[in-house]
């Protein structure tokens, strides 16, 4: 039978007991080891030192494993094994749409600033034009590519939140507006109103491990494989999710998203450029956005004892986290299974007796890959703390 490795506290108790036995083996009390005595203080100091040594050794053992390493140790693993590194924070990108009543030729210069107002929990932000955008004689609408000047997910605001032109323009009649479907100005962003996306905080340990687990040790030498395409897409700043699909028509479709499953025009262009280094020659790779689908989950957890015996809020939060993790780590983001949601919820507490999932009532199975040749987006199912409701109840009785 396998034995459980003692914890640091277990070893501390064992170590202190061994010290006391060595000092007074017969237990006669000839040596004063009562609490507060000088001898007891010495024993306690030795025990604490031993506990710290154990903690250091345990930390170094964890550092030698990719699965359990963290922080700088994980960075060294990634650099040594995969010749890669943790992704730095990135800026969100988008497009600002302008229209005017003037007609003279002019240019919205690179570096022009646009603003997001501070309202409620929304902090003030600035976006900057990343390229010169000319408007010829009679051109009344333009699409200006922009990036947020603040790094991180804080820059992933609603596109309509960018409301102000902060720098004077040569034509003062320019105003920000939201184009409607069919507006010619949308040609610059594939016929769709661009989203604000790609702002990402520094890659954390879990995200870094997940990215490395999608590639093989020799991915760099096996260009054109699924792992290679994923590696290329995931290297792009702001990209957190990527799903390759082969529709069977001689192409590959790469669905890509940031932490909120959004894809801006600038992100798509960056992914396409990076994938050129990883795809097989002659096989085109089309980059598309996910269609993010929020799933409402209502779950009842029945405990082994009456619910008043538990910290219900903590158990409910643990169940909520388990369900969210299930959706975050879906092997195939365009499907989910009700039985798997129920199974995940049992990790909320060791004394979960029974679970009933009220919604969703049925599983969603992904369509065949061949169906994605004409479908422009892939449903990416996800859940949040606002969409997962968990009730903690007394023991179940049928």
At 199-233, the pLDDT tens digits run 999 999 999 998 988 887 777 778 888 889 999 99
Q: Are residues 98 and 179 in the same domain?
A: yes
Share of the chain above pLDDT 90, in %: 66
pLDDT of residue 182: 87
Q: Which carries the bigger pLDDT value, residue 53 or residue 289?
A: 289
153 neighbors 199 (Cβ within 8 angstroms): yes
Give the DSSP per-residue string, 324-388. Answer: HHHHHT-SSTT-B-HHHHHHHHGGG-TTEEEEEEEES-S-B-PPPGGGGGT-S-EEEEE--TTTE
pLDDT confidence tier of residue 50, bands split at 50, 70 and 90: low
pLDDT of residue 61: 47
Tell me the two tokens of residue 62.
């964890």
Q: Are residues 279 and 315 in the same domain?
A: no
Whether 81 is covered by a domain: the verdict is no
Token look-up 């960056």 returns 270
Q: Are residues 103 and 153 in the same domain?
A: yes
Q: Are residues 311 and 274 in the same domain?
A: no
Whether 167 is covered by a domain: the verdict is yes
326 neighbors 299 (Cβ within 8 angstroms): no
pLDDT confidence tier of residue 368, bands split at 50, 70 and 90: confident
Per residue in 302-345, pLDDT (tens digit) is 999 999 999 999 999 999 999 999 999 998 999 999 999 999 99
pLDDT of 52 over the 80 cut: no
Token look-up 């798509």 returns 268
pLDDT of residue 310: 95
Q: Within a 13 Å sphere around the CA of 185, how many CA atoms are in the beta-carbon half? A: 23
Rounded to the nearest 5 degrees, what angle is found at the Cα of 36, between the Cα atoms of 32 and 42? 70
pTM of the model: 0.78
Give the DSSP per-residue string, 193-250. Answer: PPPPB--BPSP-HHHHHHHHTTS-TTGGGSTTSHHHHHHHHHHSTT--EEEEE--SSS
pLDDT of residue 104: 95
Whether 316 is covered by a domain: the verdict is yes
Of 8, 14, 6, the residue nearest 55 (C-alpha): 8
Residue 140 belongs to domain spanning: 91-189
């Amino acid at each position: 039978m396998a034995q459980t490795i003692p914890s640091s506290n277990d070893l501390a108790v064992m170590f202190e007991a061994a010290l006391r036995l060595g000092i007074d083996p017969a237990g006669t009390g000839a040596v004063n080891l009562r609490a507060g005595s000088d001898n007891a203080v010495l024993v306690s100091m030795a025990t604490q030192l031993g506990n710290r040594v154990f903690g250091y050794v345990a930390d170094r053992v964890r550092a030698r494993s990719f699965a359990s390493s963290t922080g700088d140790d994980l960075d060294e693993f990634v650099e040594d094994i995969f010749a890669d590194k943790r992704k730095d924070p990135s800026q969100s990108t988008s497009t600002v749409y302008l229209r005017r009543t003037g007609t003279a030729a002019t240019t919205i210069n690179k570096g022009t600033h646009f603003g997001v107002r501070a309202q409620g929990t929304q902090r003030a932000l600035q976006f900057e034009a990343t390229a010169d955008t000319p408007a010829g004689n009679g051109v009344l609408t333009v699409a200006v590519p922009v990036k947020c000047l603040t790094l991180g997910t804080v820059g992933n605001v609603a596109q309509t939140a960018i409301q102000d032109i902060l720098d004077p323009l040569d034509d003062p009649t320019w105003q920000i507006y939201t184009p409607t479907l069919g507006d010619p100005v949308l040609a610059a962003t594939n016929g769709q109103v661009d989203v604000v996306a790609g702002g990402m905080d520094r890659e954390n340990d879990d995200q870094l491990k997940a990215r490395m687990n999608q590639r093989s040790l020799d991915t760099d030498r096996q260009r054109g494989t699924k792992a290679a395409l994923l590696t290329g897409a995931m290297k792009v700043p702001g990209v957190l999710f990527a799903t390759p699909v082969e529709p069977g028509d001689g192409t590959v479709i790469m669905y890509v998203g940031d932490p909120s499953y959004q894809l801006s025009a600038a992100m798509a262009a960056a992914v396409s450029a990076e994938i050129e280094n990883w795809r097989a020659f002659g096989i085109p790779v089309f980059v598309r956005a996910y269609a993010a689908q929020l799933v409402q989950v209502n779950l009842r957890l029945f405990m082994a004892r009456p619910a008043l015996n538990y910290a219900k809020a903590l158990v409910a939060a643990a169940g909520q986290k388990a369900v969210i993790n299930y959706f975050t780590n879906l092997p195939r983001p365009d499907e989910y299974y009700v039985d798997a949601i129920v199974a995940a919820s049992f990790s909320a507490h060791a004394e979960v007796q029974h679970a009933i999932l009220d919604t969703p009532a049925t599983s969603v199975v992904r369509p065949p890959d061949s169906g994605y040749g004409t479908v422009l987006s892939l449903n990416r199912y996800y859940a949040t703390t606002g969409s997962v409701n968990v009730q903690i109840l007394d023991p179940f009785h049928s």
